[in-house]
Chain A
Amino acid sequence: MSGTWITTRAWLLMLPLLIVMVAVIGWPLADTVQLSFTDARLVGTSGSYVGFDNYVRLVSGNAFGRTLFTTTFFALVVVTTEMVFGVLAALLLNQQFRGRTLLRALMILPWALPTVVNATLWRLIYNPEYGALNAALTQLGLISGYRSWLGEPGTALAALIVADCWKNFPLVALIALAALQAVPRDVVAASFVDGAGAFARFRFVTLPYLAGPLMVALVLRTIEAFKVFDIIWVMTRGGPANSTRTMSILVYQEAFSFQRAGSGASLALIVTLIITVLAVAYGTMVKKVAGSAA
């Protein structure tokens, strides 16, 4: 049967990719699962089988709960803010005005820069001795003296959230802008004739075309925000007093700072599980929403 031949050929064509996938994802994953049931150290002992001890110890310890909360809080605030500002920026950049092309290009810049550059830049802005934020707020009379924004547990996470939003809202804006350009002009014109105001027009004309692409942005950004590492590592290393420690930072500390490869692996798998659940849940939602403006 020709169907069988086509199936065979399809598998043959995919084979090289499958081998690479197994080599770079499958094998390390299997290795990590195996490692997570041992008390292996990063250097030296390969460890012995300890069953679910790592998982039990981690989940019952207070670092895990607190970190999970910090991560969820970070992801929630960051993603919400980015979605709102991204859509607003896209709506603005979709208007006709002089310099629009330049502004569109400029807007992508924060997202296009390497995270480390971004993070370094924000460290300079937040610098307790000569930072721009301190200077601006002092000169405006909003604060009396310079503060260490990244050095105080009360402000460090907020400062990180601002930096991350600045870096990532352009991605949402870009996706939203592309979607806005697909809104048919006739439908917009029809809504004018029908007497729809700005809000009704957004609700009934723009949003249906925006919803699908925005769901994709939401999925991408939630997953990325949940596994955030580099921007935090460069700016605060999870401190002060673990106030900015997210799951990925905790995994890193466990596996590399404390050299506990076994429990680091268990933690990494827990994070993977949470993200998988998120991805599957979102995936179902994307499918539903995508049909809305067909």
Chain B
Amino acid sequence: MSALVVDNIRKSFGDVETLKGIDISLESGEFLVLLGASGCGKSTLLNIIAGLAEPSGGDVRLDGRSLIGVHPKDRDIAMVFQSYALYPNLSVRRNIGFGLEMRKVPVAEREKAVAEAARLLQIEPLLDRRPSQLSGGQRQRVAIGRALVRHPKLFLFDEPLSNLDAKLRMEMRTELKRLHQMMKTTVVHVTHDQIEAMTLATRIAVMRNGQIEQFGTPEEIYNRPATLYVATFVGAPPMNLLDVVATGHGLLIAGSDTVIPAPASLLAGLPAGGLKLGIRPESFRAEAGGLPLTLRCDVTELTGPELILSGSIGGQRLVATLPPRIRAAVGSDVTLSLDVEALHVFDGETGKRIETV
């Protein structure tokens, strides 16, 4: 049975439609990440699920019950905010227990729940401090603790890691994943960070201009991006996009006479018009075998674990991430190789993926 159903949700502010009919269906215990650039409507959608904003149309159901018109406190949800949103003059202990206090849960029971959450998040020594005496990471733990104690049906995370520095963000990401694996509660998590989406999610909804661009598992989003937007949004460095034309014996890279010798099975399904060929930087290999591709090496950057090679073919730029031991002389031609599965073909007009295999 679907735990959370978002059914054709729309939201307009005046003439501006920020959500243009969102449909999502989640199984119980899933971790959904709403991924998109700022202004795509992901936070608005989260606020509608939370009851902090009313939709202009559509329905949200949690375990079969419609939430439209239900007060946030009666929705059986808990939320974690980007800015932590702790109550400034209450101790950590009361902050965590605030939801229970407001629901008139007996003191003994509340204390037990707070202690349990504090133990899970390793913030027991902080219980008597004020939020102002905590670091950013500690504050976010408290905010997560405040959500945990309520044992809600649904967790809503609004960019909870965005205000943390890079190292702490990685730690908290792992922490969130650990908590989710343990509690198995359904989560809706909003972020613009594709790594966060890939690592945490069981399902990702990539949003753009108030619509869902693609809804799928992280593997699907990464391996079979439905549109050019998804293809470039997920992955770092982003996927290379080359203008190509399908010819009888391969894909001709525009502006050059380089042809990627794609198999006939792939070429058969392609239209005659302009195409975009997507290749992830990490799918290039330095050793021979597979489809060869020769490019001119412009810049090499050694990051430590890998070598980022920026090059070009016929004036079109290309990035490849290779093992660090590869030697590539700047200004010279380098031949790399690719697997057929690494080729993503998109319609040049619509930006939609063309299924080739």
A residues at B contact (CB < 8 Å): 184, 186-187, 189-197, 200, 204-205, 207-209, 291-294
Contact = CB atoms under 8 A, between A and B. Distances in A.
Contacts of B103: 195
A204 B85 contact: no
Interface string B263-290: 0000000000000000000000000000
Contacts of A292: 88-89
Given A192-B51, A194-B99, A294 B87 contact: no
Contact of A187 (B47, B87, B132): B87
A187 B52 contact: no
Nearest to A183: B88
Interface string B143-168: 00010000000000000000000000
B274 to A, nearest CB: 46
Interface string B95-135: 00011001100000000000000000000000000001000
B146 A194 contact: yes
B189 to A, nearest CB: 16
B250 interface: no
Contact of B82 (A186, A192, A200, A209): A186
A294 B131 CA distance: 9
Nearest to B131: A294
B102 A208 contact: no
Contacts of B85: 184, 186-187, 189-190
Give the interface centre of A200, A204, A207 by most chain B CB atoms within 10 Å: A204
A195 B102 CA distance: 6
Contact of B83 (A184, A192, A205, A207): A184
Given A184-B85, A208-B87, A292-B88, A190 B79 contact: yes
Contact of A200 (B79, B83, B88, B102): B102
Nearest to A188: B85
Contacts of A204: 87, 89-90, 98
Nearest to B98: A194
Nearest to A204: B87
Closest 7 CB pairs of A and B: A195-B73, A186-B85, A194-B99, A190-B85, A195-B102, A208-B89, A186-B81
A200 B104 CA distance: 13
B352 to A, nearest CB: 37
A195 B50 CA distance: 12
Contacts of B79: 189-190, 193
Interface string B71-85: 111000111011111
Given A190-B81, A190-B85, A195 B99 contact: yes
A293 B89 contact: yes
Contacts of A191: 87, 98
Given A186-B83, A193-B78, 10 more contacts: A186-B84, A187-B87, A190-B81, A190-B85, A192-B52, A192-B71, A195-B99, A196-B102, A208-B89, A209-B88
Give the interface centre of B73, B87, B98, B99 by most chain A CB atoms within 10 Å: B87
B100 to A, nearest CB: 9
A197 B102 CA distance: 8
9 contacts: A184-B85, A189-B85, A190-B146, A193-B52, A194-B98, A195-B99, A196-B102, A204-B89, A208-B88
B86 interface: yes
A240 to B, nearest CB: 48
A193 B82 contact: no
B109 to A, nearest CB: 16
Nearest to A195: B73
Contacts of B78: 193
A200 B98 CA distance: 10
Give the interface centre of B47, B71, B85 by most chain A CB atoms within 10 Å: B85
Interface in B62-78: 71-73, 77-78
Contact of A193 (B50, B83, B88): B50
Contacts of B87: 187, 190-191, 204-205, 208
Nearest to A187: B85
Contacts of A195: 72-73, 99, 102-103
A237 to B, nearest CB: 47
A293 B85 CA distance: 12
A190 B79 CA distance: 7
Give the interface centre of A189, A197, A208, A209 by most chain B CB atoms within 10 Å: A189
Give the interface centre of A189, A193, A208 by most chain B CB atoms within 10 Å: A193
A250 B132 CA distance: 48
A184 to B, nearest CB: 6
Contacts of B77: 193
A292 B146 CA distance: 21
Nearest to B152: A193
Contacts of A291: 132
A207 B72 CA distance: 22
Given A194-B73, A194-B146, A195-B99, A293 B88 contact: yes
A197 B104 CA distance: 12
Nearest to A208: B89
A75 B84 CA distance: 41
A193 B84 CA distance: 14
Nearest to B132: A294
Contact of B86 (A187, A192, A193): A187
A291 B81 CA distance: 23
Contact of A189 (B81, B98, B132, B146): B81
